[in-house]
Amino acid sequence: MSETGALRNVLSSITSVPDGPDGETSRAYFVSIVFYVLATGFHVAALVMSWNLEVTPVYLFNYASIAVYILCIYLVVQHGALKLAFVLGPFIEVPLHAILLVLCVGLGVAQFLFAVLPVVLVFLMPFAWRTRMLLSAASALIFLFIVMLGLIHEPWYEIPQIWVYFIGAFCALGMPLTLAVLFAINQKAAIVAEAKLEAEYARSENLLYNLLPEGIAARLKLEPDTTIADDLPKVAILFADIVDFTPRAATFPPDKIVSFLNTIFSRFDELAEKHGLEKIKTIGDAYMVAAGMPSPVGDPVHRIAQMALDMHEAVEELSTEFPDGLQIRVGLHAGPAVAGVIGNKKLFYDVWGETVNTASRMESHGEPGRIQVTGPAHEELKGDYHFEHRGILNIKGMGAVETWWLTGKRASD
C-alpha cells in the first residue's frame, strides 16, 4: 500500500462517524461532550490567569485552545465525529499546551499533569483496540518528553510563588478530578446501558418462551444451529373449530373479529395450561392443542379428553356474551407423531403425521357441540368416560373409520 493510501486510511478511521451507535459509542458521546465543556471552562480560567500574569504566549494559546474545544463540541454534537474531536483536543491540543507551559513557566505549576489525560481517555473512545493502545503509548511517550523537557529547560517567565502554589494546586486537583468525573459518568452510563440490555434480554427470553415450549427453547439456546426434530411415540391431538365463524365474521369489523377470537382462545389457553398441554397453533378460527409433547406425560389421552370437555363448558359460559350464541366442533385422536421447529427467523414448533391428520378429520367430520374420537382414543378412555357410538364414517384418504361421541366423565367410585 502506498504512503498516500495509508494516510487516507488513517484519516478515514479518525473522521468516520458510526452508524447506529452501540452502547460503548453512546457513552463515548456523553463523556466527550462533558470533557470538552470542562476543557473549555478550564481554558477560560487559564486565559484569565495567563493574562493576569502577563505570560503572553500562553495567553494567546488559550484563545486557540478555547476555539479547538468549541470545535470539538460542534464535531461531536453535529457530526458524531468522536475520533476526530479526540485527535484535535486531547491528543494534539493537550500536549502542545503542556509543552508551551513547561517552556514558559516550568514544571512548578503542574499543568503538565493534564498531558496524562489522553493516555487514559483514549480507552473511552470508539477506536479499535489496537489504535487505542498505539495512541495511549504515543501520549505516554509525549508526557515523558514533557517531563524531561521541564527538567532540563530554564523557564522563559518567572511568576510569583503564590501563583505557583495556586496554579499547582488547581492542576494537581483538577486533573484527577476530571478523570474521576469522566469515569464516573462512563460507569453510570454503562450501568444504565447494562440494565437496558438485561431488560431487553428478558423481553427476548419471554418472547422466545411464548413462541416455543420451554424445553425446545432451551435446546435452541444451547445449540442454535441444531435441527430440532423429535419422534414422539404417543401423543394426543385435539382440534377445535368455531361453528359458523365465516358467515359471522363477514358481518364483523376487523377489531371485533380479533376481539371475538381472542376472548375464546385466551380461555382455551388457560385450560391448556391447567391440564399441562402444549398449544400448537391457531389457524383462523381453529385451535390445535396436544398432550405428550414436547415431553412425555402420563395419560395424554385422558388429559386431552378432559380438555375437550372443559372447552365445551367454557364455550357454554361464553355463549351468553354473544347474541348469536357460540358452539365448537372438537375432534381428537392419539398415536405416534413427529414434531420439530420450522424456520430460522419466525420460529414455529409444529407436529406432523397420521395422528395429526386423523384428529383434524375427526373435527371437520364432526357436529356442532360434540366431541368426536377415534377407536384408539375410545379404547383408552372408555373406562373413565361416557360415549355414544356414532358408527363408521367413510373419510376421504382414510377409508372407513369407526368413531364415538365423547359425552362426559364417569363419576368416581
Residue 219 lies in a domain: no
Number of domains composing the chain: 2
SS3 133: helix
CA–CA distance, 302 with 377 (Å, rounded to integer) = 9
Last residue of a domain, one of 147, 170, 204: 204
User: Confidence class of residue 3 from pLDDT cuts 50, 70 and 90?
Assistant: low
User: Confidence class of residue 156 from pLDDT cuts 50, 70 and 90?
Assistant: very high
> Both 156 and 285 in a single domain?
no
> Both 194 and 106 in a single domain?
yes
Residue 282 lies in a domain: yes
> Both 116 and 250 in a single domain?
no
> Both 280 and 196 in a single domain?
no
Residue 360 corresponds to which cell in the numbers above?
383434524
Q: pLDDT tens for residues 8-47? A: 554 444 444 444 456 678 888 889 999 999 999 999 999 9
Residue 287 lies in a domain: yes
- The whole-number pLDDT of residue 205 equals 77
Q: Where do we find the cell 495567553? A: 59
> Both 62 and 109 in a single domain?
yes
> Both 88 and 231 in a single domain?
no
> Both 353 and 250 in a single domain?
yes
User: Confidence class of residue 131 from pLDDT cuts 50, 70 and 90?
Assistant: very high
> Is 0.85 topped by the overall pTM?
no
- The whole-number pLDDT of residue 67 equals 96
Contact of 15 with 81, CB cutoff 8 Å = yes
> Both 243 and 146 in a single domain?
no
Measured CA to CA in angstroms, residue 210 lies from 81, 217, 338, 348 at distances of 42, 9, 21, 11
Is 80 exceeded by the pLDDT of residue 345? no
> Both 194 and 232 in a single domain?
no
Domain limits for position 309: 226-409
> Both 188 and 264 in a single domain?
no
CATH code (residue 369):
3.30.70.1230
CA–CA distance, 42 with 36 (Å, rounded to integer) = 10
Q: pLDDT tens for residues 192-242? A: 878 888 888 888 778 777 777 777 887 877 777 778 888 888 999 999 999
- The whole-number pLDDT of residue 16 equals 44
Q: Find, among 310, 340, 304, the residue nearest to 328 by Cα.
A: 310
> Both 388 and 265 in a single domain?
yes
Residue 215 lies in a domain: no
> Both 33 and 119 in a single domain?
yes
